[in-house]
A and B are shown apart, each in its own frame.
Chain A
């Protein structure tokens, strides 16, 4: 188990290093060079002298190795760079937006996992029946829809035609409520985006839970529990589900890793001020530094999610737990 974790840590370190190095190299490999990277479309309009002055100011005339070390040093201090397009330090931009993304995707993950576990259990319990086929096919159909389109259709239906939910944004325009009224306003705005993301992510959890449950229900311990006279419902929840949830828990922890990066297009549709929408705006404005910072942030959270999955699993499965102690 220790060896396993050590191997994983090495793997994550490699991923992190690759992401960092990619971030360092990409702007320097661009046709326009790093000036283009930093200044975006402004670069073409600057005089060569001014450009050279900026390059020297930023240390871009030094050797690559020197630049690389400086790059890593800045990141170690938590300095993500500066966005000329926004006129703000990127760290501030990201910090403003991160909570909203976490709120959105975190809620969606919880909803999707809960629904996937419930529906997957039903499908497994009645495997081969119409209910089972219907649930699997339905979830497959939903997963085949592009998430941004799903969002647009939900907005058009529940927002535009039925008027149940606001169309976009995080708060009603001109709203001045505070406290729980404000929270309610935000919740109403987040309902459709959360639904969109949750519906899109339902398929994976449902299928995993169904598969896991079907194989657990065939295990001998289910028969023994029934033979003990334990009621069917309790066998289902205390014996079968407790075992079938193990892979789902891992899936959930991995999903936490996508909390930051998983909502690019959804946030775009609903005009929510999160990291995803930030990436979209950065693409449109060719604001490369922001794009890179967002990518780095997403990579770090994905690694954190993976690490969490590795650490959580032994807590849930006594077979792995004891090995870990040994």
Chain B
């Protein structure tokens, strides 16, 4: 009688999906969309926006608009790859912990607790500083530390699936754990894993931006974060240049993160049994 209607609608999820689709297209078509090669000097440095350079040029005369368009590729790629690493680890840990239970579960969940307590960004900075700049290092560092949350969510879903009839039946008929897990449990956690993946990607993109901003990003591949790193080094936000040098890159990061977050929350709300129906 007192059941509340759901406040959030799928419309916001669709907005998020639209944002991501548009960004994906920009990333795919980057070489055709951008007017210049972002790695070459196109004009004099520190030019304000003009017809030839819609967002002006940076401190060494590269076209900022082209940097921005190519940056979509790098930022998206790193965010998605880091999320993939985090989710693979998280799913593995969550599956094993949730399926076997007992001491294995206790041990793995203690590990999750430990990882969740470690200060995330400082450790990422420390590791990235030691490993040196590079795209794969960034991906591994972020992914290698961000798996704990998805692991916990997936574990609880596995625990609830484990007691369902078809899984119990499959075990009773002598199905090997690997078979039961991949055939019966994995399909059940896929939607939830997808939601966690999307949320991890939104987090990954923000962390990558922070790392690159601190000068720990890949020096060869320009992401939005590394654009802002140079803008900050040259004090662009203390001159009028912030409007075309600082503003667009940050807006792109915000838009991307927001797109992933919207889609992630929407998926989570749809597929997470704990958020469905009840309070």
Contacts and interface: CB of A to CB of B under 8 A. Distances in A.
| Complex A–B touching at CB under 8 A | yes
Most A CB within 10 A of own CB, among B4, B118, B122: B122
A279 interface: yes
A291 B250 contact: no
B130 interface: yes
Most B CB within 10 A of own CB, among A146, A257, A288, A295: A146
B253 interface: yes
A12 B117 contact: yes
A292 B126 contact: yes
Given A14-B114, A146-B206, A265-B213, A156 B237 contact: yes
A38 interface: no
Given A146-B210, A146-B213, A288-B129, A214 B258 contact: no
Contacts, number: 148
A215 B278 CA distance: 10
Contact of B118 (A19, A145, A148, A214): A19
A149 B228 contact: yes
Nearest to A155: B237
Interface in A11-43: 11-12, 14-15, 18-19, 22, 26, 29-30
Interface of A: 11-12, 14-15, 18-19, 22, 26, 29-30, 127-128, 132-133, 137, 140-141, 143-150, 152-153, 155-156, 160, 167-168, 214-215, 218, 257-258, 261-262, 264-265, 268-269, 279-280, 282-284, 286, 288, 291-292, 294-295, 298-299, 302-303, 306
Interface stretch (B80-88, B171-179, B241-249): B241-249
B37 to A, nearest CB: 25
Contacts of A264: 121-122, 125, 210, 214
Most B CB within 10 A of own CB, among A128, A145, A303: A145
A168 B235 CA distance: 11
Given A128-B7, A144-B258, A302 B119 contact: yes
Contacts of A160: 237-239, 242
Contacts of B12: 137
B5 interface: yes
A218 B5 CA distance: 13
Interface string B20-61: 000000000000000000000000000000000000000000
A218 B121 contact: no
Nearest to B208: A146
Contacts of A286: 129
Interface string B236-268: 011100110011011001110110011000000
B202 interface: yes
9 contacts: A127-B7, A148-B213, A149-B249, A215-B279, A218-B279, A269-B232, A280-B214, A298-B119, A302-B119
A160 B123 CA distance: 34
Given A144-B257, A261-B122, A128 B5 contact: yes
B164 interface: no
Contacts of B122: 261, 264, 279, 294-295, 298-299
Nearest to B2: A218
B121 A299 contact: no
A148 B121 contact: no
Most A CB within 10 A of own CB, among B114, B214, B216: B214
B261 A144 contact: yes
Contacts of A168: 238
B150 interface: no
A152 B237 contact: yes
Interface in B1-27: 2, 4-5, 7, 12
B209 interface: yes
A-B CB proximity, top 7 nearest: A149-B250, A152-B237, A144-B257, A144-B258, A156-B242, A215-B279, A298-B122
A145 B114 contact: no
Contacts of A14: 110, 114
Most B CB within 10 A of own CB, among A143, A152, A155, A280: A152
Nearest to A8: B113
Contact of A145 (B202, B231, B242, B254): B254
B250 A153 contact: yes
B215 interface: yes
A146 B250 contact: yes
Interface in B126-147: 126, 129-130
Contacts of B254: 141, 144-146, 149
A265 B246 contact: no
B232 A152 contact: yes
B71 interface: no
Given A144-B257, A146-B225, A288-B130, 11 more contacts: A11-B114, A22-B126, A26-B126, A144-B206, A144-B254, A146-B253, A153-B250, A160-B237, A261-B122, A288-B129, A299-B122
